[in-house]
């Protein structure tokens, strides 16, 4: 079975329709002033938009292939726009193992990133690692699909979408899903005109309570419980517990 993270064209196509979060992160980056750390930046869907808006972005991802695509996108953006854009600094690492010094006022955990952490221990460890990288007064924001959301309720084999690939025209994306013990097991089938691909993912369906509890264990406090997104998706904003009271009334 192939790894989705070795096929940046397919990865890009699967995420191309996700746009509602980019403006939200742009507003937060303008409020905090940057630089920004995006954990699990993938092919740079969000990072490229932030760089295009003039911010310095540290893009952390464990996939060399996806990071290379992110760099390619942003280099093209910089070539087209010159000094009008910011900087992209790729960091190839697992957040649980990342230990280099960094101090940023905004950390983004985008589009269900936390679902890739299957245990409470790993979730707490991720928040603890992020706190070490956060500047005083900084914020952490996450986007997640909880139990009971439309994403978490699909069953059986479904046709997810027809996708447009950069160099291979159209393709079809099918999904088979099972859920057991809070784990969502996905098999994605992608059919192009000349090849078939099969990708397997296992995701943890975290609920809001457990996300907040894990963050609190690592020393964070929820300061923005409301979501700017439509539907059931969670958007949670945290600050270090000792700083949260001063942050609660900020926009």
pLDDT at 19: 85
Q: pLDDT tens for residues 125-158?
A: 999 999 999 999 999 999 988 765 545 445 567 8
pLDDT at 147: 64
List Cα–Cα distances, 221 to 32, 143, 197, 239, 248, in angstroms: 18, 16, 42, 6, 10
Q: What is the pTM of this model?
A: 0.88
List Cα–Cα distances, 72 to 8, 20, 234, in angstroms: 11, 23, 31
Q: What are phi and psi of 168, to 5 degrees?
A: -135, 20
Q: How do the pLDDT tens digits run along the chain, 251 residues long?
A: 689 999 999 999 899 888 888 999 999 999 999 899 999 999 999 999 999 999 999 999 999 999 999 999 999 888 887 666 899 999 999 999 998 999 999 999 998 899 999 999 999 999 999 999 999 999 999 998 876 554 544 556 788 888 888 766 788 999 998 888 889 899 999 988 888 999 999 999 999 999 999 999 999 999 865 556 655 678 899 999 875 444 444 44
Select from 97, 92, 86, 94 the least CA-distant residue to 47: 86
List Cα–Cα distances, 131 to 106, 138, 202, in angstroms: 11, 9, 26
Q: Domain limits of the chain?
A: 17-147+206-247, 151-204
- Look at domain 17-147+206-247 and name its CATH class: alpha beta
């Amino acid at each position: 079975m192939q790894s989705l993270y070795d096929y940046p064209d397919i990865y890009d196509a699967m995420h191309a329709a996700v746009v509602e979060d980019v403006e939200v992160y742009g507003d937060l980056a303008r409020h905090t002033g940057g630089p920004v750390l995006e954990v699990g930046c993938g092919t740079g869907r969000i990072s490229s938009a932030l760089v295009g808006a003039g911010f310095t972005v540290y893009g952390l991802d464990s996939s060399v292939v996806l990071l290379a695509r992110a760099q390619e996108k942003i280099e093209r953006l910089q070539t087209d726009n010159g000094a009008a854009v910011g900087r992209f600094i790729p960091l190839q690492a697992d957040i649980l193992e990342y230990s280099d010094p960094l101090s940023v006022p905004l950390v983004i955990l985008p589009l269900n990133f936390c679902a890739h952490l299957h245990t409470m221990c790993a979730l707490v460890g991720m928040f603890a690692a992020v706190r070490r990288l956060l500047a005083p007064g900084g914020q952490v924001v996450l986007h997640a699909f909880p139990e009971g959301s439309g994403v978490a309720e699909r069953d059986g084999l479904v046709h997810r979408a027809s996708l447009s690939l950069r160099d291979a025209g159209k393709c079809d994306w099918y999904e088979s899903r099972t859920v057991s013990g809070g784990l969502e097991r996905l098999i994605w089938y992608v059919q192009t005109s000349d090849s078939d691909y099969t990708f397997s993912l296992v995701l943890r369906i975290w609920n809001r309570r457990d996300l907040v509890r894990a963050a609190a264990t690592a020393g964070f406090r929820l300061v923005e419980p409301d979501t700017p997104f439509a539907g059931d998706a969670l958007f949670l904003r945290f600050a270090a517990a000792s700083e949260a009271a001063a942050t609660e009334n900020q926009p």
